[in-house]
A and B are shown apart, each in its own frame.
Chain A
Amino acid sequence: MKNIDSRTHVRGESIYLDDIPVIRGTLFGAAFGSPVAHGVIRHLDLTDAEAMPGVVRILTYKDVTGENQIGGIVPDEPLLAEQHVHYCGMPIAFVVAETDDEARAAVKKITVDIDPLPVITDPREAQALDELIIRPRTFRLGDTATAWEQCAYIFDGTADTNGQEHLYIETQGAYAVPQENNGIKLYSSTQGPTAVQRAVARSSGLPMHQIDVDVTRLGGGFGGKEDQANMWAALCALAAHVLRKPVKYALHRMEDMAMTGKRHPYSSDFKIGLDNDLKIVAYEATFYQNAGAAADLSPAVMERTLFHCTNSYFIPNVTATAYCCRTNLPPNTAFRGFGGPQGMFVIEAAITKAAESLGVDAAIIQAKNLNKTGDEFPYGQKAVSESHICWNKAQDVYEIDVIRGQIAAFNDTSALYKKGLALMPVCFGISFTNTRMNQARALVHVYTDGSVGVSTGAVEMGQGVNTKMVQVAAHVLSIQSERIKLHSTSTYRIANTSPSAASATADLNGKAVEMACTSIIQRLKAVAAEELQVRVDEITLKDEFVYWGDKKTDWYWQRLVMAAYTKRVSLSEHAHYATPDIHYDATKEKGHPFAYHVYGSAIVEVTVDCLRGTYEVDAVKVVHDFGVSMNPLVDRGQIEGGIVQGIGWMTMEEVVFDKAGRLRSNALSTYKVPDIYSVPKQIIIEPLKTEQDNLAIFRSKAVGEPPLMYGIGAYFALRKAVLAFNPTAIIPFDAPMTPEKVLLALYNANAIRSTMPFANDHTANSLEINP
């Protein structure tokens, strides 16, 4: 089934936040963000700004009617800065004016005197100064301290990954409309309507039941609108509450890029020990997470780094520690993979370091250490593993030996170009690691004309969740999908939702829809049995008709619905689903946090232009564990999109902050995401259809995040290609592998020295921007 929004999407008729017809009297907001990354506000001068045409009001922290606080996990984030500023772009004031242009013009007239304080941008520096947002956490399995003795080979090193800008094409925004008796109707481009509702309630001082957050769809989220939509919603709601006027703020791209957090950069240390048979005996990792200036979701992201620190491998002795480091960058936040990719990059780097040092192919070490069913993860859960079957199937169907032969032959004859290949297995746990969030509700109404309205807590942001919800309802009710309408996500219809995140949205909300529809169907069957005067267990519904045994009756869907209504039988249901079997004890760091894992294996092939340092990804060939896909079209789109986003993170997407904490890659002209020419020439996806039962909706495993990590293979394939040209290249494990890093590695120290005599001592951290 195609995405239910396809038609309105391709006609430009789908409504996003900035498309909502503006109500008469609407005012427009714009935030004034701190121009410095760390300091104490001495004086904020609003005089000139207030005199600008159209300005209605400029709000500061003094105007906050509730608590000046929007922090989710940790209350460390004011809505508007009071005395301290902690990052460039931190909102200090909120201008409200009659037009969008007037609001932004006034923002430019605001001045602020700030006594600067030292700026920290490096997580290791923050850790050394004990600038930690939460206590460090350590996952342990076996005992690494004694295991080193059993190792024939031990290697250590560091591995760094940079951040990643979400670059949803629709920027952040909110539109708050005051209702009678202090209520607020709030349109927000958010993945977490309840998170917005909570932040607004807290900062406005209104009870949650006064705040209806309504979301039709997002123009992309990728985690960036999970908690970071709260700020703009809370600012608009506050202004609407104070001024009793509708207030709207749709961020400009530069505001969005400068003021919002991104994927967490990590700097990590690893130590890996192997026996003579290349089995990994012990692994230690220390992760320094660059959390930015406030907690946001960083503690949860850090936790998932630990959960995925061994990726698809079984390692009997593991010690992994993570530090949540406070720096003076915008608070970093959720991004597809949620810390998992950062953890996986480090174990892959460790394996690669071992392989390169030992002169073996990394794939040999990878293959020898894949987990199998029954193996224990460092957090105590036992694997139900598809690792070997995905890996082996990928080797077979894609004829890896043939590929290797072709690459070797190419590299032998080509002087200008070299090819590289890497394999990337993935094992990703599905569930919110915060167990209590694994719950969802659905509200299903059957109307007397036979049409059906479904509301859930799921937010549609392109991942196709609403399409899957329609499929669930249509299947359980045995009716055509055209009869079903997915309603917008509203905190008035569905309360206490979890954000659409963690790949779990279709599972959680789909199960709730299934339960609600099942209850209605049971009641309708009882009505049919009574009308037909037969036993209820003899009744089935199929293709909109009631069947008595095998016999199709003349009771069709609308007739049955009307009969139920006439008999005063409820045609509505509100169902609640909570994932069974999951638990986690953070004091012991052991438990069973995931409903299941998604597995897969990718082969990534690249070609490097050894003259220019540029490169292309030739192919990504995947065997992916779908369980049983309920929507192969939607799922394929998720995999292709995830792979390309992962490759972007590993190759061209480079978030650049200077030492003063200012974002230098602050526009699409300086921050490059993949375009149509930079994607792999070929992406092939071979499904692994697994039969055993799992906790996924209709056994169709979650597909949102896992494919992103196939992209990590691009980094290691590029490394291989560079080494094919220059076997003495010294390549730090430092993603992304930009054309710059490739070229510098191809021509290592010698070439750089020969062109360096005239160079000044510039580094990426002391940048002058070239407008």
Chain B
Amino acid sequence: MIKFILNNKEVSTAMPSGTPVLDFVRYHQDLTGTKIGCREGDCGACTVVVGELKHGELRYRSATSCLMPLGNAHGKHIVTIEGVNMDELNPVQQAMADESATQCGFCTPGFVMSMAGFCLSKTVPTPQNAIAAVDGNICRCTGYKSIERAAGRVANRLKQRSAEDPVTFATKQGILPAYFSGIQERLQVMALGLNGELANDNPVAQRVGGGTDLYVQKHDEIKDASIRFLFDNADLKGISQIGNHCVIGPSTTVTDLIESPVMLAHFSDFNAYTKLVSSTPIRNMATIGGNFINASPIGDFTIFFLALDATLTLNDGTTSRELPLRNLYQGYKTLDKSPEEQLEQIRFELPDARARFNFEKVSKRTHLDIASVNSAIFITVANDVITSARLSAGGVAPIPKQLAKTAQFLTGKPITEELIIESTAIAQTEIAPISDARGTEAYKRLLLSQLIKAHFIKLFPELNVKQLLAQ
């Protein structure tokens, strides 16, 4: 039986563990405030807030319930719009109503839940951060300006919080219902009674991490499948620095990465990169391992870690082996990995002070979109000579690609505008983009050249921009 706290009530269910939380709450619990807009995590109408114990501390994050299997709700607190209702409107609801930030109303519960998640998080309550909290919610009526104004009010309401625990603050201030103050203890008690409900000995069971890609691509197959859940496997989580290496558990979420001091210390623009990757609820759910294994030719973090030449540890239950990420991809969605093998660890060398790194992504819509082309570069320069370079690109081949020839061409040469322009021509020889809904081949080719220039313009401000743009 899967057990969790749904709003203020303990629930247990024998439904297939792959059932999306969305269907469970709407059609089995009659909580119809959670809406269905797209069933692929792209509209946010089904947003819920998920509370879980992490190192004994209760932590809340938003999630799109359409992509979240019941198995990933096990032992947690799932909050739907009904769970934040009080007799009077809560301050988020009041702000949305006062600013006329609701028109047809269909997307509204999702916005309210994203903002409720913001109120329960430790994110600094600025208006910008409040707006960022709803970056995964689409509204087709309002044009968002009223929602921006409402988000500003919500941020303002949290200003006095300072160091206080968000859950305590929210309940004391009447921002959310009082029952939230008892959840931590109830989850602790519940945890004692959870024991292997989700165990799955089937060696080739479908592995599910965050589900954010699987539930888009294979919704119908997966909802009744035999699943091995990886998302809450503590052995597969965590980010640590060992010497000059960083070791990441594959079930680490993008949000975990964003909150990691190791990453922030070594990638000063990390927040800017990750703002270009999906949306807050998806970043809360999507795992790095999932991004690698789903083998999309355009996975943002695959491209990021290809430039860092990350190494994977795979284990089939008896033996483990190491495999460079660049060698994982053998063809379109074809991996050098047996069905029994599980990704256990991701490791890469942290860039030192001499190294420079950049990530670029262009998509039709800058945020909450899949890239037309993305690219990352890792480069070291000494005395104006490129001493090492690694370049990766997505959306330009059947697999996420390291542009080895281009990197080799750059290595050992003085960094000049001419060199960069020549390197873009080399890059053209090692890619094979196709025309699709994200752009024509001609566009993707031009775009890759532009993104290579963008890497250099950002990392080497002394270069002559006009000269680089002229060709």
Contacts and interface: CB of A to CB of B under 8 A. Distances in A.
Contacts of B469: 415-416, 610-611
Contacts of A533: none
A219 B454 contact: no
Interface string A753-770: 011111110111011111
Contact of A613 (B43, B298, B429, B450): B450
Interface stretch (A510-518, A583-591, A740-748): A740-748
A668 B104 contact: no
Contacts of B360: 612
Interface in B116-158: 131, 134-135, 137-148
Interface string B429-471: 1011011111111110111011101100100000001100101
A240 to B, nearest CB: 21
A341 interface: no
Contacts of A679: 143-145
Nearest to B104: A462
Interface residues of B, number: 96
B143 A11 contact: no
Contacts of A493: none
A770 B442 CA distance: 16
Given A253-B38, A640-B143, A10 B438 contact: no
A743 B450 contact: yes
Contact of B100 (A170, A416, A637, A665): A637
A427 to B, nearest CB: 22
Interface residues of B, dominant DSSP? loop
Contact of A3 (B103, B372, B443): B103
A5 interface: yes
Contacts of A284: none
Given A614-B362, A633-B100, A758-B429, A668 B108 contact: no
Interface string A215-248: 0011111100000000000000000000000000
A659 to B, nearest CB: 12
Nearest to B437: A670
Band of interface residues on A = 35 or more
Contacts of B43: 169, 668
Contacts of B107: 169, 219
Interface string A97-117: 000000011000000000000
A2 B442 contact: no
A612 B364 contact: no
A672 interface: yes
Interface in A184-215: none
Interface in A659-685: 664-665, 667-670, 672-679, 683
A642 interface: yes
Interface stretch (A12-20, A85-93, A594-602, A692-700): A12-20
Interface string B349-391: 0000000000010111111111010000000000000000000
B252 interface: no
A751 B468 CA distance: 12
B36 interface: yes
B105 A770 contact: no
A534 to B, nearest CB: 43
A6 interface: yes
A614 B366 CA distance: 8
B115 to A, nearest CB: 10
A760 B92 CA distance: 53
Contacts of A21: 30
Contacts of A670: 437-438
A713 interface: no
Contacts of A643: 143
A42 interface: no
Contact of B449 (A221, A614, A755): A755
Nearest to A762: B435
A645 interface: yes
A12 B90 CA distance: 13
Nearest to A755: B445
B149 to A, nearest CB: 10
A766 B435 contact: yes
B34 A12 contact: yes
Given A675-B367, A739-B364, A767-B437, A415 B35 contact: no
B233 interface: no
A669 B93 contact: no
B100 A3 contact: yes
A167 interface: yes
Contacts of A676: 131, 134-135, 137, 139, 144, 147-148
B341 interface: no
B33 A12 contact: yes
A168 B140 CA distance: 6
Contacts of B425: 754-755
Contact of A462 (B39, B105, B138, B148): B105
B100 A668 contact: no
Nearest to A168: B140
A250 B26 CA distance: 14
Interface in A117-172: 166-171
Contacts of A253: 37-40
A759 B442 CA distance: 7
A640 B145 contact: yes
B212 to A, nearest CB: 11
A197 to B, nearest CB: 23
Nearest to A758: B428
A759 B102 contact: no
A769 B435 CA distance: 8
Contacts of B434: 762, 768, 770
A7 B105 CA distance: 10
B103 A637 contact: yes
A678 B108 contact: no
Contacts of B466: 415
Given A637-B146, A667-B40, A678 B450 contact: no
A51 interface: no
A770 B135 contact: no
Given A667-B40, A669-B42, A677-B135, A768 B143 contact: no
A9 interface: yes
A348 B376 CA distance: 41
Interface in A5-61: 5-16, 18-19, 21
Contacts of B138: 167, 169, 668, 673, 675
Contacts of A633: 100
A645 B143 contact: yes
Contacts of B449: 755
Contacts of A614: 362, 366
Contacts of B38: 253, 667-668
Given A2-B100, A217-B104, A770-B438, A637 B362 contact: no
B260 interface: no
B271 to A, nearest CB: 14
B109 interface: yes
B103 A217 contact: no
Contacts of B328: none
A252 B36 CA distance: 9
A567 B277 CA distance: 70
B145 A613 contact: no
A672 B369 contact: yes
B69 to A, nearest CB: 16
20 contacts: A2-B97, A2-B100, A7-B89, A11-B81, A12-B32, A12-B81, A16-B35, A167-B138, A168-B104, A218-B104, A219-B104, A219-B107, A220-B140, A611-B469, A612-B451, A674-B365, A675-B365, A754-B471, A767-B435, A770-B298
Given A672-B369, A674-B144, 13 more contacts: A11-B85, A12-B109, A168-B106, A169-B37, A611-B469, A637-B142, A645-B140, A740-B443, A743-B447, A751-B471, A755-B425, A758-B445, A764-B435
Interface of B: 26, 30, 32-40, 42-43, 45, 80-82, 85, 89, 92-94, 96-98, 100, 102-109, 112, 131, 134-135, 137-148, 216-217, 220, 297-298, 360, 362-370, 372, 395, 424-425, 428-429, 431-432, 434-443, 445-447, 449-451, 453-454, 457, 465-466, 469, 471
